[in-house]
Amino acid sequence: MKGLVYKSTGSWYTVKSNAGKFYDCRIKGKFRMEGIKSTNPVAVGDTVEFEIETIGDETIGIISKIDKRDNYIIRKSVNLSKQTHIIAANVDIAFLLVTLNNPPTFTTFIDRFLVTTEAYHIKAVLLFNKIDTYNEDEILEVKYLAALYRSIGYECLGISAETGKNIDKVKEMMQDKVVMFSGHSGVGKSTLANALEPTLELKTKKISAQHSQGQHTTTFAEMYDLDFGAKIIDTPGIKGFGVVEMEKEEIGDYFPEFFALKQECKFNNCLHIEEPKCAVKDALEEDKLAWSRYKSYVQIVEGDEEHFRKDIYEKK
Ligand SMILES: Nc1nc2c(ncn2[C@@H]2O[C@H](COP(=O)(O)OP(=O)(O)OP(=O)(O)O)[C@@H](O)[C@H]2O)c(=O)[nH]1
Ligand SMILES: [Zn+2]
């Protein structure tokens, strides 16, 4: 039978069959995904092959195969430094909720998020939330940012999770897709989820309560079906995407507007920093590229890893 993994605890998996029935599943023997040293071989969002086994009056599923993933999001395991934990697989869209000042979302944070989604091959969309609270100047700033990121190729939308503004458009984007929400604490992720589906709060509350019982509460991602025909992956305790290991040389490739110019740089391994005859620096000088993007780029190349991780993980 074919199914989709809705929850993974490391030993048990909740799988929904194509016929729409949920099964508690275990993994058959030991199998590993090629090239991934992971503490959890099966992740939320995986499509799997499984067979039903009945032992006594108990029916469980045995997962025998994982389909090839379109993408996956990982993070380093806390204890086993060489191992990684797959947070989710086959994510169609990653929404980044952005607010200007409550809380502030800086362009460096947006750019790091976008670099990560590029590296993961996940479509990213910027949702400028709380537009009901902005004055004229702030609206102009949102428009400036939206124009900047649209020019690079990212979809942008101004919304209000509170008043419902453009929520129908968000739903349209999400139709038949698997979606993850990211953004600083307080940008409105829960409010948006509830605007999309008011009954969702109950489902997620129940889960969080379960998690808070233990001392060492490991948090597991979980997928939820929304009534209008979309799925969201909730990742309690993980605010953003894991840390992708990147070589200095490849970071520029995840800035699409820099990548587009790379061919014109004198050196084919140009880092666009000190090198002469650099098409990226030329374009910057001519104001064809945004300085804020370049600033983020340099920060990432120079490796501000600690700061990055603090941005992404919630403090305990
Ligand atoms: N005015 C206004 N307030 C909003 C909007 N969206 C969210 N809020 C408010 O912002 C505050 C934070 O919203 P949450 O939905 O809890 O934010 P969150 O991103 O889920 O926060 P964490 O759970 O800490 O990650 C709440 O008081 C919301 O009512 C909006 O569009 N307009
Ligand atoms: Zn260059």
Query: Is position 270 annotated in a ligand binding site?
Result: yes
Task: Using the atom order of ligand 1, give the atom closest to the CA of residue 161.
Answer: 31
Map tokens 């991934």 to a residue.
Answer: 36
Residue 241 lies in a domain: no
Task: Using the atom order of ligand 1, give the atom closest to the CA of residue 163.
Answer: 31
Query: Is position 81 annotated in a ligand binding site?
Result: no
| pLDDT per residue as tens digits for the range 58-100 | 899 999 999 999 999 887 666 655 677 788 999 999 999 999 9
Query: Is position 191 annotated in a ligand binding site?
Result: yes
Please work out whether the CB of residue 112 comes within 6 Å of at least one atom of ligand 1.
Answer: no
CATH number of the domain to which 270 belongs: 1.10.40.50
d(CA 179, CA 122): 10
CB 93 within 8 A of CB 176: no
Half-sphere exposure of 135 (CA within 13 A, CB side): 2
Task: Decide: pTM greater than 0.95.
Answer: no
3-state secondary structure at position 198: coil
Task: Using the atom order of ligand 1, give the atom closest to the CA of residue 160.
Answer: 31
pLDDT string in tens for the chain (316-residue length): 999 999 988 789 999 999 999 999 998 866 555 555 566 789 999 999 999 999 888 899 999 999 999 999 887 666 655 677 788 999 999 999 999 999 999 999 999 999 999 999 999 999 999 999 999 999 999 999 999 999 999 999 999 999 999 999 999 999 999 999 999 989 999 999 999 998 876 555 554 444 444 434 456 789 999 999 999 998 876 655 655 778 899 999 999 999 999 999 999 999 999 999 999 999 999 999 999 999 999 999 997 554 444 444 444 3
Atom 11 of ligand 1: nearest residue by CA position = 186
Nearest alpha-carbon partner for 102 in 155, 138, 143, 137: 138
Map tokens 């804020």 to a residue.
Answer: 292
Same domain, 59 and 119: no
How much is the mean pLDDT over the chain? 86
Same domain, 270 and 287: yes
ipTM greater than 0.90: yes
Residue 290 lies in a domain: yes
Atom 13 of ligand 1: nearest residue by CA position = 188
| Full residue range of the structural domain in which residue 157 is found | 89-234
Structure tokens at 59: 């029916």
Structure tokens at 130: 């709380």
Structure tokens at 232: 């969201």
CB atoms within 10 A of CB 115: 24
Residue 204 lies in a domain: yes
CATH number of the domain to which 63 belongs: 2.40.50.140
Domain boundary among 35, 65, 87: 87
